[in-house]
Structures are given as C-alpha cells and as structure tokens.
Structure 1
Amino acid sequence: MTWSFSIGRILGSDLRVHVTFFLLLAWVGFAAYSEAGLPGAIENILFVIALFACVVAHEFGHALMARRYGIATPDITLLPIGGLARLERMPENPRREIAVALAGPAVNIVIWALLVVVFGAGISVDDLAVIDSTGPGFLQRLAIVNLFLAVFNMIPAFPMDGGRVFRAFLCLWTDRVTATRWAAIAGQVVAFGLGFAGLSGGNPVLVLIALFVFVAANAESQDVAMRAAARRVLARDAMITRFESLHPEDTLDVAANAVIRTTQHEFPILDPNGRLLGFLTREALFAALAGDGSRLQAVSSIAETQIPTVSLLTGLEQVLDTLHTGAPAVAVCTESGHLTGYITRENVGELMVLQGR
C-alpha cells in the first residue's frame, strides 16, 4: 500500500504503518491536551497505541488461521481506521472461510477476557458513554474497545469479518459470485448508515469508516466476479503482444522518448536473444528523471528484475494471484525463456469489460 512503511516482520508477515496513522495520534493528543493537559494527552496516545496493538493481534488471528490452510499473508498495514491483513487469497471452502473470518474477533474476545479476569478490568454500561475520555481506567477502556471490536466486526456485511461469515453461509445455497454480491450490498447499506450517523453527529471518523466500507465492499465484489470469469481464460488470451521493448544499455533519454510515442506504462527490457531481463515502469522512470541521476544512465539500473513468468496455458486466475504480490506485470514466456507477451492489472480489467463480465 502506498504511503506506508515497514516497521519489521512478525510471524512471517511484513508489519507496515500508513503515514496517516500518525495524523490520528497527533489529533488524539491535541484533543486530549485541550481537555486534560499533558497527562491526558500522554494517556490517550498510549491508549491508542495499545488499542492498535490489539488490532494487530486481531489481524494476526486471521493470518495465522489462513496459514493453516496454506494461505500466506504478505503484509499487515495499520491505518487510522484499523488494520488490514493482505491475504494472498481467501479460502473458497465455506467452513475454512468462516474459520479465518472468526479468528480475528476471537483474538479480541480473548484479550477482553484476560483484561477482565486476570487484570480485573471490570466494565459497566455507563463506561460505554465515556469511552473516549480518561474517566474509566486505562485497562477498562481497553477491555471495552476489544469487546466493541469483536461485536462490530461481526456485523454481517463486507468487508467486516461478519460479512465473510455471511458470504460463506450464502455459498451453501448459491454460487460464490452471487453470495459475494449480496454480502457487498449489505456492506454498502451499513456504510450508508455509518455515514449518516457520522454526518449527523459530527464524527469524521465514522464518515471515514463508512467510505472505506463502501469502497472495500464494492472492490471485493468486483474481484470475486473477475476471478470467476478468469477461471475460463488462459494467459495467452489476455496478454499484450504488441509492445515496444528496451535494451539493457538504453539510456533514460531513450526510455523517455518511448513513453512519449507510446501508451505503454511498462517496458520490457530484453537481451539480444529476446530473453526478459526486467521491466521499466513509468513511475520508476519519472522518479529517476526527477532525481539527481544522469539522463544517460542505463535503464537496467532502475529496472524491476523480480518479474514472475508464466506459460501460455497458465490460467488467468493464477496470473491474478501473482499480480497481487505487487509485480508491475507478469511475463508470458516460452520454455526457452523468450518473451511472447505480458499481462498487467489494467489489461485484465479491460479484457473482463470487453467480455461483458
């Protein structure tokens, strides 16, 4: 995810923090300082950090359960509205999907139980009304929020965990695309409700959550529909076959001219025998031209060399999984390693639109 940076690897997943998370800390600290001075600001900032540690634990609940079914989690990103575990894919077996979805809220329930039973963080209904203040004790507030996270995430609407459970149950009676569509509609209904509540109560966080829920629900529905259509398509049917390539010794000036006279966003770099050495993206080229580097440096010095390759008969669904790893393109090569074409997210989307998916 752009505008995020890694703070380390935990249990095989890259833990990332989005820069806007620090805006949340600054806002919480300023608001608390205005009401309770420096001690209140420090306590609320520490509370937010503790809360997001619980959010990270929630996401690792999903990740570790998914790992049991052979599904990796490349990274987990902390956002102002929560955490996002990027699983390579969701299990399509309904029971496994339910297990992965429930693992996150289960972690929050365990944390809540530990805080209440072991640390004596008793809670009452009255505490819910003042959860955003320093009135209740630190551990009390943390216990309340963990219970709230577990309950809120079980709302049967995408992209919450309850939406995935809802989708899995629907899959018992209908196909996955239809089940996802209904779960996404439920998610967008919930988003409208959250947005209305946020605008009525002057709560910008609720509005932000509503926007995220609405967009994520729609994206999930489109992704599942695309994957269903991709099962019937091979790499040879989706690849770009007419393209301009570069030589490894070509300069940035040569690449810049290629960008101007073509519509390509990425350029394969081929050796004299036509074998793929890497890809030069427009983003990498623009960054190099805007920096202090010479326009006469070779394109091979800024090329992306870790390019996944597939054969002509590889299924497009497998190509989509590969593209989700962050590669700019997937190369379609012969057995001898010669490039015959390549596939990007953009041309997969165009193919699905043209096929009426």
Structure 2
Amino acid sequence: MLKRKIALFKLLGFTVSLDVSWGIILFLVVWSLAKGFFPSYFPGLGMQTYWWMGVIGAIGLFVSIIIHEFSHALIARKYGMKIKGITLFIFGGVAEMQDEPSTPKSEFLMAIAGPIASFTLSILFGGLAQVAETMKFSLPVIAILSYLSMINLLVAVFNLIPAFPTDGGRVLRSLLWWIKGDIHWATQLASRISLMFAVVIIFMGFMHMIGGNAIGGLWWILIGSFLFFAANASYQRLLIKESFEGKTVRHFMNTTPVTVPFDITLQAFVDRYLYHYHYKMFPVVKGGKISGLITVQLLKQHTHEEWKHLFVGQVMEEPNPSNSIASNTPIDDALNRMNESGYTRILVVEDDRIIGILTLKDLLEYIALKMELETIP
C-alpha cells in the first residue's frame, strides 16, 4: 500500500508523504463531518458552513496525525532507530521504521509517544474550545475545536488497543520483552493476541452489517482485516530479520553468474542469453572486468531493427550503488537496496570484477522455507 505515495514536504529531517489511499479517507471524513457530525451536534447552520467546517476539521485531523507520527519518529531517532519517513494512508499514518527497537525501553518510549501526543492535543483543543465558548466565539469555531479534541482522544484510545503493530501492541510487546528478555517470544505472543483482537473486530463488523449499519460494519471489517494481516506481517518481519542476523551478501549470492560479453549485438544477446536463461538482468564483462549490466527494460528502448547493429556495451547501464553491492554487505541492507531501486538482481562486485550475483528469488525462497517452518501455529 505504501508504495503509491506522493512526497509532500520535509520537516526535522523526515519526509512526509501521502499514500493515494488517503484521498478515500479524506473524502469520507469531510463528508461525514459536513453531513453527519456537525449538523447533529451543532444544528442551525447553513449547509455551505457545514462543508467548510468539514474541510477545516479534516485538515485539523491531518495535522494531528502528522504530530502523532512525528512523536514516534523523534523518539525513535533519539534511540538510534532509522526512520525512512512518515506516510499518511487510509488507516491514518505510519512512521516507516527501517530498524526494530534494540531494547524494550526504546520500543516502549517510541510506542507510547504517539498516544501521549494525541492525548495532549485532545486536552489542548478541549481547552481552546472552552476559551472560545467563554469569549463568545462563533459556533463553527467552537464546533471545530470540540471535534478536534474528541477525535484526538479517539486516536489516542484506538492506538492503545493491544493489537500489534499498533502503538498499544508495541507497548504490549515491549512489556513482554522486558519480562522475559526474549523479543521472539514477545513478538509471537503479541501477534497472537493481535490476531484474536482482529477476529473480534471483524466479527463486530459483520454484526453491524447484519444490524443494518452497512457502512459502519464495513469499516470495522476493514480495520480488523488490516490488523489481522499486519500482525502476521510483523511477526514474519521479525523472523526474516532473525534469519538474516549476522549474514551478508556472500552467504546468499550465486558465485557462478551468467555474464554477457561487452561486444556482442543486442540480437545475439537475445538469442544466446535472454531466451536461453530467462533472466531479466545480466552482468556485462569486458576483459574479465565488470562493465555494467543489460536488462530487458534497456533492451525494450530499442527497435528490433536496432538490435541487429547495436552492441550490448552501447546500451548497458554502468555499475552504480543501486545495482551493485559488496559481498560483505549485511543482507538487511541489500534487501533495502533492492526495495529502493526496484532491482531483483544485484551485481556483487569487488576490485572491478564480478564475483557473484544476489537475486531476490533466492532470498524469497529461503524466507518462504523459514515461514513454513516457523510461522505462527
């Protein structure tokens, strides 16, 4: 889901992005505020006023979620955890951590920072609403401040539900981790508890739908489904991290990669290599040294007629940090590199010579075997 995002701005070293799914929740929030919440609790205003209140209320929610996630990110950075950025998506927001917490204390403080920020915002907006009412401000101003106080309280309470990987689930895992000193056991137990919560939430959604509240029930089902899959994914990420602990690219690379000569035509490359081995990327060598790589994407930039006279060395991509890597690089870093570059095959290069190739397929097969043997029973 978080792949389809648009960078909005950068603040305090963190890039804030918007997932395309946020458009769905933004419309629903504005619509529900303008057509439901504000007319019900603050009657007597015009429809145009309600729509403007809905837009401002949604913007206030938007800012509140950013503050919530920034609280996580700042504490995480203080304890040495890498945060790639902050992304707003259909279920709220997420601080994209590249590292797991190293201690129960760091996880607890990082996790609890978000709900504390939301509770603080709730108190702040509630106080401002009281001041606005005392000073006889207009009803729309009082209504918006009251809504922001209420919604931040709900955000704080929801995030404290012990359903991993929500804030409450991470607080639960940090306590379990602290009690036994075993993050694997803590994650497994926290994930099991989260799965039970998710099933209960999905069941409640179906009950709402049966009771006639189709839209509300659908939201419960969506949230429960999200928690269900997120809990499984979080446990699996830990297994992956443990599986690759202490391992480098050298442990998983293919030491006998198929290489392509620098001076053959594209047509010869297609006939002798592409159709024979079915890989989408091949290392290109010249005089025993690595020159670059040739991919299907690069090939498709030229016509079939050009294939007959263009040489591989003329269209190849030169080695660079996104397509090549050292053999002593940790596998976690290699996976991050693949994720960022989009490459599923990376050259392993030392002293201008190719000594291997790392493929996502090999890593996934290894991970799949670990998942089969160690997944949550």
Tell me the secondary structure at the aligned position of residue 89 of structure 1: coil
Of residues 242, 256, 262 in structure 2, which corresponds to 1:228?
Answer: 242
1:140 equivalent in alignment to 2:110: no
Please state how far the C-alpha of 1:200 moved relative to its aligned partner. Answer: 2.3
Cα distance in 1 for partners of 2:146, 2:266 equals 59
Tell me the secondary structure at the aligned position of residue 155 of structure 1: coil
Q: Counterpart in 1 of 2:54? A: 44
Tell me the secondary structure at the aligned position of residue 98 of structure 2: coil
Q: CA, structure 1 residues 107+270, in 2 after alignment: closer, same or farther (shift >3 Å)?
A: farther
AA in 2 matched with 1:274 = K
Tell me the secondary structure at the aligned position of residue 84 of structure 1: strand
Please state how far the C-alpha of 1:108 moved relative to its aligned partner. Answer: 0.9
Cα distance in 1 for partners of 2:73, 2:65 equals 12
Please state how far the C-alpha of 1:148 moved relative to its aligned partner. Answer: 1.3
Report the structure, 1 or 2, having the larger helix content.
2
Q: Which runs of 5+ in 2 are unaligned?
A: 40-46, 134-139, 209-213
Cα distance in 2 for partners of 1:315, 1:221 equals 21
Q: Counterpart in 1 of 2:226? A: 212
In the TM superposition, what are the counterparts of 1:121-132 in structure 2 within 5 Å?
A: none
Q: Counterpart in 1 of 2:185? A: 178
1:66 equivalent in alignment to 2:54: no
Cα distance in 2 for partners of 1:193, 1:256 equals 55
8 Å CA contact 2:324–2:349 kept in 1: the answer is: no
8 Å CA contact 1:279–1:305 kept in 2: the answer is: no
AA in 2 matched with 1:149 = V
Q: Counterpart in 1 of 2:194? A: 187
Task: State the superposition RMSD in angstroms.
Answer: 3.5
Tell me the secondary structure at the aligned position of residue 157 of structure 1: coil
Structure 1 range deviating more: 250-259 or 226-235: 250-259
1:265-288: CA deviation from partner (whole Å, max 9, x where unpaired): x515445253364674x6xx29x9
1:286-338: CA deviation from partner (whole Å, max 9, x where unpaired): 9x95xxx544596546x894427554344434544555555535746354142
8 Å CA contact 1:77–1:84 kept in 2: the answer is: yes
Q: Which runs of 5+ in 1 are unaligned?
A: 124-133
Q: Counterpart in 2 of 1:97? A: 107
8 Å CA contact 1:332–1:339 kept in 2: the answer is: yes
Cα distance in 2 for partners of 1:38, 1:51 equals 20
Please state how far the C-alpha of 1:142 moved relative to its aligned partner. Answer: 0.8
Q: CA, structure 1 residues 142+177, in 2 after alignment: closer, same or farther (shift >3 Å)?
A: same
Tell me the secondary structure at the aligned position of residue 7 of structure 1: strand
8 Å CA contact 2:129–2:146 kept in 1: the answer is: no
Q: Counterpart in 2 of 1:7? A: 8
8 Å CA contact 1:307–1:329 kept in 2: the answer is: no
Structure 1 range deviating more: 331-340 or 191-200: 331-340
Cα distance in 1 for partners of 2:200, 2:65 equals 23
1:158-215: CA deviation from partner (whole Å, max 9, x where unpaired): 0111111111111131521121111111111111122222232222222222121111
Q: Counterpart in 2 of 1:131? A: none
Of residues 83, 88, 98 in structure 1, which corresponds to 2:98?
Answer: 88
Cα distance in 2 for partners of 1:250, 1:117 equals 74
AA in 2 matched with 1:312 = S
Cα distance in 2 for partners of 1:89, 1:7 equals 23
Cα distance in 2 for partners of 1:259, 1:220 equals 37
Aligned residues: 338
Greater gyration radius? 2
8 Å CA contact 1:269–1:300 kept in 2: the answer is: no
Cα distance in 2 for partners of 1:170, 1:268 equals 47
Structure 1 range deviating more: 32-41 or 196-205: 32-41
Q: CA, structure 1 residues 2+175, in 2 after alignment: closer, same or farther (shift >3 Å)?
A: same
Q: Counterpart in 2 of 1:108? A: 118
Q: Counterpart in 2 of 1:17? A: 18
Of residues 166, 170, 192 in structure 2, which corresponds to 1:164?
Answer: 170
Percent of residue pairs identical: 24
Cα distance in 2 for partners of 1:196, 1:62 equals 31
Structure 1 range deviating more: 199-208 or 323-332: 323-332
8 Å CA contact 1:153–1:162 kept in 2: the answer is: yes
8 Å CA contact 1:312–1:332 kept in 2: the answer is: no
8 Å CA contact 2:84–2:97 kept in 1: the answer is: yes
Structure 1 range deviating more: 100-109 or 5-14: 5-14
1:29-74: CA deviation from partner (whole Å, max 9, x where unpaired): 4556666644323322332222121111111111111111222211
8 Å CA contact 1:66–1:100 kept in 2: the answer is: yes
Please state how far the C-alpha of 1:242 moved relative to its aligned partner. Answer: 4.8
Cα distance in 1 for partners of 2:153, 2:265 equals 58
Q: Counterpart in 2 of 1:200? A: 207
Q: Counterpart in 1 of 2:158? A: 152
AA in 1 matched with 2:147 = R
Q: CA, structure 1 residues 137+248, in 2 after alignment: closer, same or farther (shift >3 Å)?
A: farther
AA in 2 matched with 1:237 = H
Structure 1 range deviating more: 49-58 or 36-45: 36-45
Cα distance in 1 for partners of 2:268, 2:230 equals 40
Cα distance in 1 for partners of 2:229, 2:266 equals 37
TM-score by length of 1: 0.80
Tell me the secondary structure at the aligned position of residue 101 of structure 2: coil
